[in-house]
Amino acid sequence: MFFEVLNKATNQGDIGYAESVDGKMWDYKKIILDEAFHLSYPYVFEWKNESYMIPESFEDLSVRLYKAKNFPAEWEYIGNLLSGYPYVDPSIVRYQDKWWMFVATGSSVLNLYYSDDLRKGWQPHSLNPIIKNNKNISRPAGRVMVYDDKLFRLTQDGEPIYGFQVFAFEITQLTKEIYKERIVSNTPIVTGTGQGWNAAGMHHVDPLQIGNIWMYAVDGRSQ
């Protein structure tokens, strides 16, 4: 499991990882990405038998791609997929022979990009921004998922406070010229409980299917 580790001395986020044999008890290992700027939201995926990671690097005004040299502990920087803006929570998926990336600019605007090649050639969708002026459904909240030939995205609800809860949307039409979606349910997938580690909210869900079993990595805000 990969996650942001906040260095309290510098207030900078780095990327660390932990290992588990059962998904319940975890053994923290070490920091594996430490740049001169804040990193968070490590989005790990596989392509052609290689492991890749796209962390959020908004302070660098970039979307950066890393490749595992020795998974899970050693990673190398490959290059920038996008540059020039403070991109937030980039979330990528391979669908219908193309790469698609959902990425927020701020807390109320969502943009979509696409490319035939993972490492280059990223183009903005013709309808960008696909969501604007809406803190409730614009910011990505985890892995974009293909399930039963359907495409789903998760989104943070940023009102009344940051990271309040998470909703799911089914993407019903997706081409270079068209984007349409519908909310799966008006009931959030996860939300704050009022007490403990997720008292104030929950804003990330990462689903993983292992055989017939589903596991979910989630986070929460205590205050």
pLDDT tens digit sequence for 79-102: 999 999 999 999 999 999 999 999
- Per-residue model confidence (pLDDT) at position 210: 87
CB-CB neighbours of 95 under 10 Å: 14
User: Residue 50: is its pLDDT beyond 90?
Assistant: yes
- According to DSSP, the residues that pair with 2 across neighbouring strands are 17
Are 124 and 111 within 8 A, CB to CB? yes
Confidence (pTM): 0.96
Structure tokens at 31: 């920091």
- 143 and 74 fall within a common domain: no
Q: What is the mean pLDDT of residues 139-148?
A: 96
Last residue of a domain, one of 65, 85, 105: 85
Q: Tell me whether residue 100 is in a domain.
A: no
Q: Tell me whether residue 103 is in a domain.
A: no
Q: Which amino acid is at 179?
A: Y
Q: What is the pLDDT of residues 162-218, one digit of tens each?
A: 999 999 999 999 999 999 999 999 999 999 999 999 999 999 999 998 889 999 999
40-47 and 27-33: which strand pairing? unpaired
Are 143 and 206 within 8 A, CB to CB? yes
Helices H, strands E: what count in the chain?
A: 0, 19
- Per-residue model confidence (pLDDT) at position 45: 97
- Per-residue model confidence (pLDDT) at position 223: 85
Residue-number span of the structural domain to which 11 is assigned: 1-85
Q: Tell me whether residue 96 is in a domain.
A: no
Look at the chain and report how many structural domains it folds into: 2
Are 189 and 166 within 8 A, CB to CB? yes
Q: What is the mean pLDDT of residues 120-145?
A: 97
Are 115 and 124 within 8 A, CB to CB? no
Q: Burial of 130 by CB count in 10 Å (0-12 exposed, 13-18 middle, 19+ buried)?
A: middle
Q: Tell me whether residue 115 is in a domain.
A: no
- 77 and 8 fall within a common domain: yes
DSSP-based three-state secondary structure for 127 = coil
- According to DSSP, the residues that pair with 146 across neighbouring strands are 151
Are 150 and 169 within 8 A, CB to CB? no
- According to DSSP, the residues that pair with 30 across neighbouring strands are 17
Q: Tell me whether residue 102 is in a domain.
A: no
